[in-house]
Amino acid sequence: MQDYMYDPAYRHLLKAKEIAQKENVIPELQTEINRSIELFQQKINYCDDQTIPPSPALHSLITDTLAYPWSDAYKEGRVSYSVDTAMLSGNSEAQLIKSITSASKARMVLEIGLFTGCASLAMAEALPAEGKVVALELDQGIADVARSFLDKSPAGNKIEIITGPAIESLEKLAEKKTKFDVIFMDANKEGYVPYYKMIFEKDLLASGGTLIVDNVLKNGDTYSGEHSDSKSWAITNFNELVLQDNRVHKVMLPLRDGVYIIRRKEDTDASVPEKKGDLNYIK
């Protein structure tokens, strides 16, 4: 899916274009509608052109993901669900995540929702030699495909894949007292609220750490009110939870399908005293 297609305004413009053509409205109005549609596309293309291109390894992973016969894999039972390649983070978002990872001087990184490893590889490329990405993936078949892609890359050896339900994997990581400098959440949307609560209640995010959450606009459903499914409502509820959580500093970016950048307030505001132990996040 092209990034501009996430925007409901773009989809409504397409509908307006169709109506204008059927009703034979004045040419000037049709011209303005067409120009507005073009500008949606041109803005995304311009931003992409101004963003550093992916490394050869990341480019290869993205290309391999798009070319992989996912429908055959699903029909043959090698993966447990029908894959949409729009699940791929894409270069612009991968470079944002890579920048945050680099600026954080991160050594331990967590991705909740691996898919084929686009974001994990981008973060791994920013880590020092001894750095590590722990990537959680529900489906063993998809994890196997991701592993085959990642093993082709110079930084792939920094990535450990854990398969199974993410909430169980997070519990095990918490039991080991594992802490992460950066956490990227891009898994099943109904799991966002419990994942968020566990991250903070179990202290999985290291002091000074950053939580990055994907798909927080959910095709525009969260602000248009045009909720299309339970996933849209799950994201809306998650966003409200974060908004009401006065312990965190947050900024939402309209990049692709929406990205939330979340940090503890004591890490962003010098006037907030550092908190120890249970942060009493919203239950």
CATH of the domain at 88: 3.40.50.150
Residue 140 falls inside a structural domain: yes
Q: What are the structure tokens assigned to 74, written together?
A: 């699903």
Whether residue 66 is predicted with pLDDT greater than 90 in this model: the reply is: yes
Tokens 């994990």 sit on residue:
120
Positive or negative, the Cα torsion across 221, 223, 226, 232? positive
119 in a structural domain: yes
Strand partners, 261: 212, 251
Question: Residue 204 and residue 170: Cα distance in Å, rounded?
Answer: 8
Judged against a pLDDT cut of 70, whether residue 280 lies above it is answered with no
pLDDT above 90 coverage of the chain, percent? 82
To the question of pTM greater than 0.75 for the whole model, the response is yes
Cβ distance 179 to 200 under 8 Å?
no
Better pLDDT: 120 or 225: 120
Claim to verify: residue 77 and residue 17 sit in the same structural domain: no
- Is residue 192 assigned to a domain? yes
Position 277 scores a pLDDT of 45
Supply the pLDDT for residue 275: 59
With the C-alpha atoms ordered 162, 252, 220, 121, is the resulting torsion angle positive or negative? negative
Question: Torsions phi, psi of 110, nearest 5?
Answer: -125, 135
Note whether residue 133 is domain-resident. yes
Domain shared by 89 and 25, yes or no = no
Is 281 among the domain residues?
no
**Exposure string for 65-97, b = 16+ CB within 10 A, e = fewer:** beebebeebeeeebbeeebeeebbbbbbbbbbb
* Tens of pLDDT, residues 5-21: 778 899 899 999 999 98
Angle between helices 56-67 and 118-126 in degrees, nearest 10: 170
- Find the domain containing 123 and state its range: 56-267
Comparing C-alpha atoms, which of 16, 171, 21, 163 is closest to residue 80? 163
Which residue in 32, 38, 41 sits closest to 6, CA to CA? 41
For residues 129 and 61, membership in a common domain is answered with yes
Is residue 186 in some structural domain?
yes
Q: What is the mean pLDDT of residues 10-38?
A: 91
So what's the pLDDT on residue 228?
Answer: 76
Domain shared by 137 and 250, yes or no:
yes
Number of domains making up the chain = 2
Sequence-distant contacts of 13-19: CB under 8 A, at least 24 apart: 13/37, 13/40
- Tens of pLDDT, residues 121-142: 999 999 999 999 999 999 999 9
Residues 40 and 111 in one domain: no
Could you give phi then psi for residue 234, rounded to 5 degrees?
Answer: -65, -40
Of 204, 212, 200, the residue nearest 246 (C-alpha): 200
